[in-house]
Each structure stands twice: as structure tokens, then as C-alpha cells.
Structure 1
Amino acid sequence: MARRRVLLLMKPFDVYPPRPKAKDSSSFLHRTVNAHQILNHLDDRCRVHNEGIKFCQDVLRRKNLDWEPLFRNNISQPIRGVDLVVTVGGDGTLLQASHLIDNSIPVLGVNSDPTQPEEVGQLCDEFDATRSTGYLCAATMRNFEQILEEVLEGKNKPFELARISTKLNDKILPTFALNDILISHPCPATVSRFSFRIKCNDQKGSSLVHCRSSGLRICTAAGSTAAMLSAGGFPMPISSNELQFMVREPISPRAVDVPLMHSVLKSDQYMHISWSGKDGTIYIDGSHAFFPIRHGDTVEISVNAPFLKVHLPYCLPR
């Protein structure tokens, strides 16, 4: 039997840029009261992540696998020819991998630097001590070898997560969103102008809604606990193949349009958007991928994208 092929996709070691050296370090520390603690915390995060990468590599070496390590900033082409992608970092690394994977290769996320509740509790009055977010990561250093063994033996099955398909002027964009899409002016302080209509097949659809706002956000079920939830949205069952959308900070919407400011796009529906501003940007999964739009462009949003196979944490409600 051929050996399983695994790609180990990693967040880089240098997750924080080099810090400039102050001429007078004592005065620098006086000006920034908690600077010493903060810098030590950042150094510790780098150390923990570095150790996590080495640990994952050691585990893979002990298995009967063909595997290749690759940093996420060194990959831009679609991932092919492997049986499994293991991402080491957090949700950001898994999201970046998802943009290069079709629906044939499963992904196993490893959170290399999970937040420590005790640490956050001790330091919350000093600075933000949260670490890596790993909502979609099934493993940490504590259980990676066990989870990997279950995956290889077929005992841990991947879950199929819905993604978002985006058309710009009737052309499908090459990147599918796993979490969410934000359509807005590149400058967050500038008003976004657009109109949209919800359609189903060849039916006329909803009335045309005209918006002046801070933009439009659309999320999947997987992304409903991220930015959408922070903005006042609601969490969706991870198995849902519907999309949630919200007009961000609308300016004086008509009463008849209010129900469509925040609603759900069914699996057989799509959203047709006309951009009326001078400049705009389609942001896919935060800043991971983005595409410029101009006045007169049209954007179509739907769930008609290949699903993504992800090994999810056992604790995540299905």
C-alpha cells in the first residue's frame, strides 16, 4: 500500500516583526509601563509556536508517511497530490490553506499556541494576553498525535463545511470564503454605496434595496461565530449550508428595507449586488484575499462553492 502523503503547512516562526532598539531602554520601559511584560509575552508566544512546529514534525517523522513541511507565506498555487493537509498555527493558517484546496483533500488544523485562561485572568488588568484562535482546529500539542492517528485510521471523519462563491461581473473569483466576505470601501471611514436584491433561480426576487452604509458582510455557518457574531449576528449550526448577511451601520434605511438589513440567504438563493461607489473592495476571510471593484460592477454571492473537508474539534456542536 502506498504511503499517505501529508503537507505540513505552518505559520512562520517570525510572527512578530523585529522590535526597534531604544537608545535608552530604561526610559522606554518607564514610558511604556508594561513593556517588559508584553515583550516577554510575545517572546513566549514565538517560543511556544516554534516548539509546536518541532513537535508536529517529530510526530510525522515517527509515522509511515511521506510528508513535506512548508511555510504558509511560501505557497500560492493550488494544493494537489496529497492525502491530508495539516496546518500548524491557528484559524488564520487553516483559512489560508482552505483557499488553495478543493473538496477532495481534508484539512486537520493544529492550534500551536492556544489561549491559556489562567494567564488571561492574571494579566487582564495589564494587557491582552489572549493567544491563537483555533475555533476550527481539532488538535493542540496535547492531543495531536492521538487525533492524527484517528484520522489516518479512518476513525475521525472530516466534516463538510459550506463555503461562499463570489462572482464579479459574472466571472467566478478563484477564492472561496470559508468564514466570510466583506464588501466595502477600502477606507473604513468612507461611506459604501450599493444596491442588492435576493433572487432564487429565474424568479424576480426581493425588491431592490439601496444602501449607504459601512459595507456588507456575508458569512457561512463556520464564520457566524467570528466577525458576524461580534457585529450582532447569531451563531448558526456548523452543518448549515445557508449564509447570513448584514448591512453594516446602514444610514437611515427605509422601514420596508429594515428586514433585509440582516437576514439569511437560503441555499437555493443568491444575492445580486450593484456597486455604486467610486471604489470598493471584496475582502475574503479578512485580509487573506481581496479584489478591487469600481462603480458599475456587479457582485453575485451564493453558497454554490465546493465544500471543504475539515476535521473539527469534538467539542464543536454539529
Structure 2
Amino acid sequence: MWQVVIFYHSDKAGAEFQARQLKKRLAAERRAKFILSDLRERTPKNLSARINLAISVGGDGTLLKVSHLMAPLRIPVLGINIGHLGFLAEAEKQTAARIIRQIFQGQYSLEERMLLKAVLVSKNKLKKNLGIALNDCVIRSYGTGHPIRISAWVENNFLTSYHGDGLIIATPTGSTAYSLAAAGPIVHPHLELFLLTPICPHTLAQRPLLISATHSIKIKSPDAGIFLDGNYAGKLAGELVISKYEHPLMLVRHPHLSYLDILRTKLGWGER
């Protein structure tokens, strides 16, 4: 029997209701056991030992939070969108029950998505793990509205010094998020690389750059804050090191629906 945890965020309108309705509807069919988990509260312990599937009920923000919890445990995640765009979600609330039944019957595929990890290295070489991100790490002004200067290295090779509102270091998944709004390119999620997208650079010469994820990115900026998937992670005091996280997120996908299909239907890519 499948063991399933359904995550929701009780601050999001309608999320708890939809999660409870989904559990009630599917539990009656006796194909799986379900656990409900509010992301505002403590996550249930020992999930990796007893869970086959995690379901995220909400928008992309909810799925990002669930990805941080499930990627280290290698538990597949299915996104159910009850928000607006829901680019990462596989199902809408109207089709959720049908798609979950198909999953129980083995009609699904798993798609690996790369995450990044951020480590802050102090002047005394002490390391602090700031966390992981599915979309991006953003370095931007901390507490002021002024442009900042950001120095970047690839491994130990100096890259450049950015001057502007900030810098986005995105994964391929994050290429359709903040980076896209900052004029970055769309990157297919099967590639493993970092996308460096400057935010409002005060020059015509700096444009987005793709770097292999086999390399680490080192950042220094004395007046910057660090944000992982939109959440404040701390002030950049010392050196920030961005590298590929050792475990990918396992996203549950429909076997006959491609990433390019989603680009066209949800982002309107290629429309005239």
C-alpha cells in the first residue's frame, strides 16, 4: 500500500480545505494511507522510512518549500496547483484525484531537477550551511536601495565585478522564475548548470552567463543579503560558495507531457 504525505500551507487560502478533501476522497478507495502536514508546523519525523510520495497542495511557493524537505530524503513530489500559474505543478485541483489514481497504477515518470546549495565561509574559514534552493540564490542590496558591487569567481578564477541591483544564480528550474523576469534565458531542466543573471546591471557589457554545475561559484559583496528561493538566508559576511546539491528533486510527471508542452500552455511560449 502506498504511503503518502500531503503538504499544504494553512496561510494560503483554500489550501487546507483542498488537502483535506483530497485525502477524504482518495482514502475511501483504500489504495493508500495519507498523512496531512501543515508547512507552518513541524514536519512529521522519519518520513523517509515510511513515505512513497509527497503531494504539494498550493502554488509554486508551496512546492519550493516541499522540495527543500523531500529532496534530501529522495521522496518523489507531485505538485497540485490551486494558485495562479503553478508552473512546477503537474495537476490542477480539478484533475488531482484522477492523476493520483494513475500514479498508484504506475502511470507516471520521475524527472530529476538539480538544486543548489549555499555555504557561507567566514574570514576565519568557518563554514555555515545556509540551505538549498530549487530555483535560485539571489544576492541583492541589504537594507538600502543603492546599487551594490558583487565580485564573482568560477572556482578560483576571477569572473567579473557586477555593479547593479544584484545577481541571480539560478538552476535550470529557476530559469523560468526571477531570472526570466530579469531577461535571462530559458534553460531546459535536464541540463546541469548555473545561470548567472545580473539584476539591472549598470553597464551594457554584462549579460546572463551559463556555467557548468561541475564548478562552484564564489561571491563576495560587503553590502549584500542572501536569499534562497525568495527567503532571506543571511547577510553576506565573508565569501558565499554556490555549488550543486548532491541530491536532485524527484518530480512526478505525466509520461506523455513534456517540458516544452508546459512552456507553451503555461507561459505562452512561442505565441504570436
| TM-score above 0.5, yes or no | yes
Match 2:142 to one of 174, 180, 186: 186
Distance in 2 between the 1:241 and 1:305 partners?
12
Deviates more, 1:94-103 or 1:181-190: 181-190
Distance in 2 between the 1:10 and 1:193 partners?
39
Report deviation, 1:53: 2.6
Match 2:169 to one of 197, 218, 237: 218
Match 1:75 to one of 38, 42, 47: 42
Report deviation, 1:198: 1.6
Deviations 1:17-51 (A, max 9, x none): xxxxxxxxxxxxxxxxxxxxxxxxxxxxx45x455
Tell me which amino acid in the other structure corresponds to 1:274.
Answer: K
Deviations 1:107-150 (A, max 9, x none): 0111124xxxxxxxxxxxxxxxxxx3311111122221221122
Distance in 1 between the 2:211 and 2:44 partners?
31
Partner SS state of residue 158, structure 1? strand
Residue pair 2:169, 2:197 contacting (<8 A) in 1 also: yes
Partner SS state of residue 40, structure 2? helix
Distance in 1 between the 2:79 and 2:58 partners?
8
Match 1:88 to one of 57, 79, 85: 57
Matched, 1:61 2:17: no
Deviations 1:259-318 (A, max 9, x none): 5x42011122221112233xx32101112x522222xx1011122431000113625328
Tell me which amino acid in the other structure corresponds to 1:244.
Answer: L
Report deviation, 1:77: 7.5
Report deviation, 1:188: 5.6
Tell me which amino acid in the other structure corresponds to 2:109.
Answer: K
Q: Kindly tell me: are residues 111 and 308 of structure 1, through their superposed partners in 2, closer, same or farther at Cα, counting changes over 3 Å? A: same
Identity of aligned residues (%): 22
RMSD over aligned Cα, in angstroms?
2.4
Aligned to 1:120: none
* Structure 1: gaps of 5 or more residues: 16-45, 114-131
Report deviation, 1:173: 2.3
Q: Which has the higher strand share?
A: 2
Tell me which amino acid in the other structure corresponds to 1:10.
Answer: Y
Deviations 1:141-163 (A, max 9, x none): 22212211222232202210011
Deviations 1:209-237 (A, max 9, x none): 22332111011111111111111011111
Aligned to 1:164: 116
Distance in 1 between the 2:65 and 2:99 partners?
22
Q: Kindly tell me: are residues 76 and 6 of structure 1, through their superposed partners in 2, closer, same or farther at Cα, counting changes over 3 Å? A: closer
Matched, 1:307 2:248: yes
Partner SS state of residue 235, structure 1? coil
Residue pair 2:119, 2:130 contacting (<8 A) in 1 also: no
Distance in 2 between the 1:172 and 1:234 partners?
31
Q: What are the equivalent positions in structure 2 for 1:1-318 lying under 5 Å apart?
A: 3-12=1-10, 14-15=11-12, 46=13, 49=15, 51-62=17-28, 63-75=30-42, 79-81=47-49, 82-101=51-70, 102=72, 104-113=74-83, 132-169=84-121, 171=127, 173=129, 175-187=131-143, 189-199=145-155, 205=157, 207-252=158-203, 258=205, 261-277=207-223, 280-287=224-231, 290-294=233-237, 297-312=238-253, 314-317=257-260
Partner SS state of residue 283, structure 1? strand
Report deviation, 1:69: 0.7
Partner SS state of residue 133, structure 2? coil
* Structure 2: gaps of 5 or more residues: 262-272
TM-score calculated relative to the size of structure 1: 0.71
Residue pair 1:77, 1:100 contacting (<8 A) in 2 also: no
Q: Kindly tell me: are residues 198 and 99 of structure 1, through their superposed partners in 2, closer, same or farther at Cα, counting changes over 3 Å? A: same
Q: Kindly tell me: are residues 275 and 247 of structure 1, through their superposed partners in 2, closer, same or farther at Cα, counting changes over 3 Å? A: same
Report deviation, 1:88: 0.6
Distance in 1 between the 2:137 and 2:253 partners?
22
Q: Kindly tell me: are residues 5 and 188 of structure 1, through their superposed partners in 2, closer, same or farther at Cα, counting changes over 3 Å? A: farther
Deviations 1:64-114 (A, max 9, x none): 32211111111368753321111111111110111112151000111124x
Tell me which amino acid in the other structure corresponds to 2:214.
Answer: D
Q: How many residues align?
A: 251
Residue pair 1:55, 1:141 contacting (<8 A) in 2 also: no
